[in-house]
Amino acid sequence: MPVRSAWLINRTETESGQSRADTRLAPVGTMAPSGALTSAGGVIPGSENGAHLMSALYVYGETAGMRATVAPGRAVIQGRGPAGAYPVVLTDYADVGFVDGNAANPRIDVVILRVHDAQFDGEDGRTEAVLEVVQGEASASPEPPLLPPASLPLAQVRIPAGASAGTGGIDWANAIYDLRVPTVAVGGILPESWARDVPGGYIGQYRDTATEYQRWDGARWTGYPRQIGGIAPQGALATGEYTGQYRDEGGRLQRWDGTLWRPAVTASAWANNTDGGYCTSVPWVEAVDDTQGPTITATFTAPVSGAVLVTVGFMGNTGVDGQWCRMGANIRRDGVLVSAADETRSATVGSKALTSVSAVYRVAGLQPGAVHTAVSAYCTSATSNRGWFDNRFIRVDPVL
């Protein structure tokens, strides 16, 4: 079998062992720590022209029967603790065979790449790297078998009940589950592992999941954009991980305040009505008469400063010379009035001539992040004065 391992035994005049070719082929420098004296086992990633994550040590079946093929490739296998890690290479395609299926129940076998080292295991006196099939127990609900030390799982193969070369063998299209995981040298970026969550070996290790760049923080893989100072992508975070964190939510930037996501930059609010109407009320009212249009309501979220600029305006006139009519705004939060319309903060017309007017004023002390409504309000100097209001509008801009 064309399986070789570096650093297993030395070549002597009377004994086979590590050759120069073995040293060149085996992934001697491709190791990342998984502990103080252990290395992360796995397959060395790579494929022809870089088209795939890894083509090495791929297990597949092409013809009916009970034998599968393992593609050539390189790997690192962690041995028993004090034994260290073994660089291993399969230099050519190799076959592995499976025992016929149980008459009544299916089972799950596992194809492994294994190192026997008599110096450390001494169980069978063997010192070699080999491909093996570990046979599982037949059961109505079969489970994968336990694997021996110093082995690297390559694939699970489900063996149907009664399967044999004479009955058509194994359904290769549905029987194989790939178990390979990649490994890279320390400092390298670990490729994705077929959606399996393989823990990191050290704080600061990075991996590429094909959709996100992640860093191992000692307990979990954390998306790189979610690190301090980064903006979490849409859908990555339901709750923030620290106060002041930002995320992209449908193109809108949000900031975590410790409890809720708040708009980082609140938008301006705008509402208008181009249908005119009259007002003869001396106290402030929120609607005009003889109009088909609704009351003007501008909904906005207070910025972190708690301050906004409110602009109100209309085109109108008075019904009586020397009288006036005004437009302002009432601001509410959850139905509670927090800023009332006032003559000092209003747009005022004092002529029978049709006139366009507006006023801008600042409102502070609003609750940051809370939704507010600015509702148009109107009044006139006397009930005998029919103030005309047309092209009415409210605009609210955040003060950052």
- How far is Cα 268 from Cα 274, in angstroms, rounded to an integer? 20
Q: What does the alpha-carbon distance between residue 165 and residue 240 come to, in Å, rounded to a whole number?
A: 57
Supply the pLDDT for residue 135: 97
At 237 the pLDDT is: 84
Cα 109 from chain centre = 34
- As a whole number of angstroms, the distance between CA 71 and CA 106 comes to 26
Backbone angles phi, psi at 117, to 5 degrees: -135, 100
Q: Say how far apart CA 122 and CA 143 lie, in whole Å.
A: 28
- Under 8 Å CB-to-CB from 20, ≥6 apart: which residues? none
How crowded is the C-beta side of 153, counted as CA atoms within 13 Å?
18
**What pLDDT score was predicted for residue 28?**
75
Structure tokens at 204: 């600061």
Instruction: Report residue 167 as tokens.
Output: 């009955």
Domains along the sequence of the chain with CATH: 3-178 (no CATH), 233-264 (no CATH), 269-399 (2.60.120)
Give the pair of three-digit tokens for residue 304.
């972190």
Model pLDDT, residue 398: 94
Q: Divide the 400 residues of the chain into consecutive groups of 10 and give the mean pLDDT of each group.
A: 73 63 71 86 90 92 92 92 87 96 97 91 83 97 95 96 93 94 90 76 86 84 69 84 87 87 87 95 95 87 92 97 96 96 96 97 93 97 96 95
**pLDDT the model gives residue 295:** 86
Of residues 390, 328, 382, the one with CA closest to residue 360 = 328
**Taking a C-beta distance cutoff of 8 angstroms, is the pair 109, 157 a contact?**
yes
Cα–Cα distance between 205 and 214 in angstroms, integer? 8
Residue type, 269: A
DSSP type of residue 328: E
Instruction: Give the pLDDT confidence score for residue 368 in this predicted structure.
Output: 87
Closest-CA residue to 343 (of 364, 357, 329): 329
What is the length of the chain?
A: 400
Q: What is the pLDDT of residue 229?
A: 72
Query: CA–CA separation, 386 vs 388, rounded Å?
Result: 6
pTM of the model: 0.58
Instruction: Please classify residue 71 by burial: count the beta carbons closer than 10 Å to its beta carbon, then call 0-12 exposed, 13-18 middle and 19+ buried.
Output: middle
